[in-house]
Structure 1
């Protein structure tokens, strides 16, 4: 699964890299958080966690302008998909990821897969590797966080889906609180090397796939399924980072710093399979 990632770019950078027509990240939106988001939504976040609002790229016709052409928009959406038919927003906590192998058939995702696809920009993602040799104080395999990013330095574009949930308790349709817009990240089998960290990884689309993936008029599920096929391996680099990232209260660029080999315990090198750091 993908349960944490780094969204380190600001809206101006994302607008340029993803060829966005309309930056809507300053618009008021409904959040599910009890306390204010930290760092604030729309600013660089090195430890993006479920239920936070994150920048997402999607293509839509501007509201109230049916004659206008669809535009590529940058919006702040809540991570954790809430289907339109949900009785309340709590479903989103369980739906942060959707499996590429079944996303076109499952009722919770199928309609969004046909018409509401998005890109989730990220510097890269975190995943925890269970050590085959080292254990924690409770005798369980010690878990080492890794950070994975594109080797070419470009942003990752996670394939995602989004949904609108209407709160029946809010009478005014134009009230931002009436609508909760959420997203999920699609995952696929981890490629060779990365599978030594975890058996799943986000489905990362390349720039030549973006237009089709974002096109709301592309409803042919056969074609959509072709976009869900994993790309050839070798695009990513991965390295161990501090366990500080395990706390969703930790943030800042230091979370991306490589962990010195002297601090590793029973860590498997993703590229070679070598065990680093012993067991003590």
Structure 2
């Protein structure tokens, strides 16, 4: 499951795209400082757009921690979406790519092979998430589901990228989650290897 993603697109460009989609962004804590980052990892602070009490097509752009501590202290950075309604506390997690890791194709290589997934035709996109309060503040997690055709060769589970036309619906808790939490059409995600020796044609080590 996803424990690393990327956001290198500037926040001004992101805000413009929300405006084009007629989603009004509020900044209740001021405009977040969002430096370009090749790797955003568990417990890092990163930008999300969460549901607003002003209704549909409104969102609040804030910086929050990725993951909250679970009952035994382990970070909750991914959260299964199956059979859950998410009637509140929804958010869009902003990124321009996310990573998955596989066993190395080269037996002598100690690090896992690293693969970057981006959305075809989009300079950035949003992943489905939820947020909640915990002892030290607020945090978010990424929702997951069984892997679809673009990710299944690399992992049996996946995070849930949302098409832009679904963002306003995801921010509206009145819209049933099951209508949006689905695979994108095959070929929507592009993948390239960013670390490791390429495997033999047609083979991936899972």
Report the TM range for the smaller structure's normalisation.
Answer: 0.7 to 0.9
1:32-51 to structure 2, matched below 5 A, reads 42-51=34-43
State the shift of 1:22 in Å.
Answer: 1.4
Give the aligned CA root-mean-square deviation in angstroms. Answer: 2.7
Q: Which has the higher strand share?
A: 2
SS of residue matched to 1:42: coil
1:79-90 to structure 2, matched below 5 A, reads 79-81=66-68
- After TM superposition, the score normalised by the length of structure 2 is 0.83
1:1-280 to structure 2, matched below 5 A, reads 1-19=1-19, 20-24=24-28, 26=30, 42-61=34-53, 69-70=54-55, 71-81=58-68, 91=73, 93-102=74-83, 104=84, 113-131=86-104, 134-136=106-108, 143-165=112-134, 167=135, 180-216=137-173, 218=174, 223-242=176-195, 264-265=197-198, 267=199, 273=202
Cα 1:124–1:27 shift into 2, 3 Å: closer
State the shift of 1:137 in Å.
Answer: 6.3
Higher relative contact order (CA 8 A, sep 6+): 2
Unaligned runs of 5+ in 1: 29-40, 62-68, 105-109, 168-178, 244-263, 276-280
Question: For 2:109 and 2:194, how far apart are their aligned partners in 1?
Answer: 20
SS of residue matched to 1:21: strand
Q: Which has the higher helix share?
A: 1
- After TM superposition, the score normalised by the length of structure 1 is 0.62
Cα 1:212–1:135 shift into 2, 3 Å: same
SS of residue matched to 2:9: coil
| Cross-structure match for 1:64 | none
* Conserved? CA contact 2:47–2:93, under 8 Å: yes
* Conserved? CA contact 2:18–2:25, under 8 Å: no
Question: For 1:135 and 1:24, how far apart are their aligned partners in 2?
Answer: 50
